[in-house]
Amino acid sequence: MSLTKKDFFTGRIELVDNDEHFANDPALEHRLEHTVGSTFRVQAYTVGYTRDIGTFKKVEAGLGANVTAYAFPSAIKPFYGDHPWGTNLYLRFRLKPRIREER
């Protein structure tokens, strides 16, 4: 969603059945598989903001950040915590759209 010509807000919701949470620990993966299962539904809620900072030749640049909060089933909360979240900061580059001249 564009607030101004330079300010953009984004949002994303994900709902995934994931079976690879413990692939790096085969013993734990095996134990969980035989007690609570091997596939867990994970929810992710992301909000973000990007500010265009300028155009250089034909490339637009922007600075942005995303914050994501996750929801896990109670069976795997001991491994991820009650309120896991993450952030990322980024520098975005994209080609500037060509404006067609009207005839």
What CA–CA distances, in Å, run from 18 to 14, 21, 40, 77, 98? Answer: 12, 7, 5, 14, 41
Average pLDDT estimate for 57-82: 91
Judge if pTM exceeds 0.85.
no
- Domains, the chain, in order of start with CATH, read 7-95 (2.20.200.10)
Comparing 57 with 11, which gets the higher pLDDT? 11
pLDDT above 70 (res 18): yes
pLDDT grade, residue 14 (50/70/90)? very high
Collapsing DSSP to helix, strand or coil, 102 comes out as: coil
pLDDT above 70 (res 15): yes
What CA–CA distances, in Å, run from 97 to 26, 57, 94, 100? Answer: 49, 12, 9, 9
